[in-house]
Amino acid sequence: MLEELENKKEKIAFILQHFPDTRENDNLLCSMYWKLVENVEHVDDIARATKSEVIRRARQKIQNERGLYLPSDPDVIRRRRLTAIDMRENIHTV
């Protein structure tokens, strides 16, 4: 079923839907994506795989813009909210 999906965002949404722990842990999400989608077997293969930042940003859009597959851990929600506020407040100082 995963191979039938057309783009990375759809595949990431599938993983978020079927593996709830990935909603709160970007490292786990990346690991699952690389294993399930790109068949990464060795650490060296990661250099040629989809970048973790691409996966993280897709997860962020799915959760923040679509409101789907949100984390259930209140600490994760709070930490992400504080990070977003900090980014908005300090974006002009860069």
Mean per-residue pLDDT of the chain:
94
Q: What is the DSSP string of 65-88?
A: TS--S----HHHHHHHHHHHHHHH
* Residue 90 pLDDT level (bands cut at 50, 70, 90): confident
Q: For 71-92, what is the mean pLDDT? A: 90
With cut-offs at 50, 70 and 90, classify the pLDDT of residue 27: very high
pTM: 0.86
Question: How far apart are alpha carbons 87 and 81 in whole angstroms?
Answer: 10
Looking at the predicted structure, is the pLDDT value of residue 91 above 90?
no
Tokens matching residue 29: 């999400």
* Exposure string over 14-26, b if 16+ CB within 10 A, otherwise e: bbbeeeeebbbee
